[in-house]
Structure 1
């Protein structure tokens, strides 16, 4: 299982799902799943969290084969049987678990964060005891090489803004569910009116009004996808 296509096929068979069931869950055509499994094409990064969810595997295993592969269910599939897919938020959450949220690309280097956990992970030490701590799956190249697509930022929403730290700024206060516009940048400076921000690809230092981006969450660590 050296390719993502072979891992998708293995996990799908282990869960006893058809290509059509996977495609229907993702809102795509079945041929797209066929092409993924044949390594003709690869899934868009934005689809990886949902794909990992339906296949019941971690994002890390799907992208990089980190961890043990899913085991095939020995139960013989009944003809016409369609297994029910349980949504992530309905699963039992482990004690002190870390919610992982996905981000899709928006315009002008922004991202759209969906505050509905795609996965629950073991709580990292740096966020133990932190109220509301979460992980954010990175998309886009604007902060590369510090953060590459597929990396997970570890976020403490309770720390105050501080210069020379990485931050997530929100256009509107994040809620328990729904989509929120955000930017992930380096905080070079701040005053009562503005944030001074830095990105790496392409290199740029710019300002944003705090009235437009009133919520600042500090990034305190990350998990590499590689």
Structure 2
């Protein structure tokens, strides 16, 4: 049986176009390191869920069977006239928060400072439409290009404090001294956490948990046209 790495490389032309892994991570709601392991690490990942395979096949209009892509089961090609159907069994929990969008308050704007910390303007400024069930969710407007290309000026990042942040996800970290960071959570070990720069402009930052007031998960980003008044 072929590995998931072999099957993905069979249907995607290498080298991958820029942004493919990031887009798959976003559509499947997993981290970028997870998708990288799907493509490159057979010792860590031997298969993916059929739901993730169905999402990939639909997003990239692949004429292959999700069962074959996910687990190497059955024929590679879809039967003539057949269509993709979401698998009945999945290791992905139902995303109740995605049933409908709601207004998330914009609590201010942020830009990256020269020292790697966020420079904040905390004046409330309307709402954005976003799909989340977190009642504590809020949005921040991105100013400047210090976090380009991940986040562009004028976009909004939506933060969901009620949902636990996992390694590989972007987070907003608030420190007890009042400073704030927008980083990627790399790992949590013992009494330390390590954060990675959004734009690779800074070296990894390892800080003590004692310095941290809270770590809030970044659910995603939306464009300026998502803003409502």
Normalized against structure 2, the TM-score is what?
0.47
Higher RCO structure, 1 or 2 (CA under 8 Å, sep 6+): 1
Report the TM-score when normalising by structure 1: 0.47
